[in-house]
Amino acid sequence: MPPPEEKPHPSDPALLFSSIEDELEEVESLLLAELATSDPIIEQLVDYTSRWRGKRLRPALLLLSGSVYGPLIHDHKVLAAVLEMIHTATLVHDDVLDAASLRRHNATIHSRWDTATSVLFGDFLFTHAFHLASSLESTFACHMIGKATNRVCGGELRQIHQQGNYDLTESEYLEIISSKTAELCAVSCLLGVYCSGASQSIQAAFEDYGRNLGIAFQITDDLLDYVGEENEVGKSLGTDLEQSKLTLPLIALLQSSETGFKNEAHQLLASSDHQKRLRLSQLLKDSNALEYSQQRALEFSDKACLALSEVPESPTKNTLLALTQLAVTRKA
């Protein structure tokens, strides 16, 4: 296997999307037009969530992937809006499941309003996403987005039913995050090149890139849940621990060959110590579980790079490679 290509380091994540800045604004306009309503309550919710404006990773992945093989067309922008709506819907529902109070430096929907509003508004976003997707002539995209959304929901269900299972294996964890997080990244990249008329082998390569990138992003996200700063990350931290959801850092700690580390971890998990997250963070460092998790994120980042090895060199390809670096170095 050839060594992974050298990845450009993004000095500023915002600069990575500068080449598609205008197209991302068009995507935002399409999204807001689809969600336009005369209902004042729904209008308030749409306006509130539009302020979240995070990385716009999934629309950016679709647009960047599409621009590698040709000019961007209307279908690219419609599908980018669809995927951002679906992603936002999953965040609204996730915050209920995690009992999170903060999302992108703002109160979550369920903490600002209530749980019922969150559930129904998430459903509202899902239905509008599929309504917009159905406006395209091709049914392939709608089929793939439906399949991906089904996998996302399946991954969330598996994670919920594994809460408190301290025997969860790394392979089971990877299956969960491949579905609940990486799936939308994978389908974003696939549909980007599909709309540009790329071959099936290229579609498969970009899907592989997106999946590995998404896994690297999620592992880093799970690391930040233990060692990140809430004011920097911009969302509630420690929710996985509070909900007894095992992620890679804790799995690595509980599978440590050092009995002392494992025993102390089990004692902390069973305790009601309000310093539990802080003490576990230190234990994760001492046991090298953090270092191991960071290394695994790097491995998936490298796999994402390798997936694009046959893609012609271009500034856009360099941006996609730079995203793999961002996935493992980000602090928010």
Show the low-confidence residues of the chain (pLDDT under 50): 1-9, 11
Per-residue model confidence (pLDDT) at position 258: 80
Residue 92: CB partners within 8 Å, gap ≥ 6?
49, 108, 109, 110, 118, 121, 122, 125
The DSSP bridge partners found for residue 265 are none
167, 169, 172, 174 alpha-carbon torsion, rounded to 10°: 130
Helix axes 115-133, 40-50, angle to 10 degrees: 80
Say what the pLDDT of residue 284 is. 87
Residue 11 is predicted with a pLDDT of 46
- pLDDT per position as a tens digit, 165-182: 999 999 999 999 999 999
CA-to-CA distance for 107 and 27, rounded, in angstroms?
25
pLDDT attached to residue 98: 81
Architecture (CATH level 2) of domain 20-329: Orthogonal Bundle (1.10)
Query: For 135-175, what is each residue's pLDDT tens digit?
Result: 999 899 999 999 999 999 999 999 999 988 999 999 999 99
The confidence score (pLDDT) of residue 1 equals: 47
User: Domain coordinates of the chain in residue numbers?
Assistant: 20-329
Single out the residue of 151, 77, 160, 89 nearest to residue 119, CA to CA: 89
Give the N- to C-terminal CA distance of the chain in Å, as an integer: 33
Residue-wise pLDDT for 65-87, tens only, equals 999 999 999 999 999 999 999 99
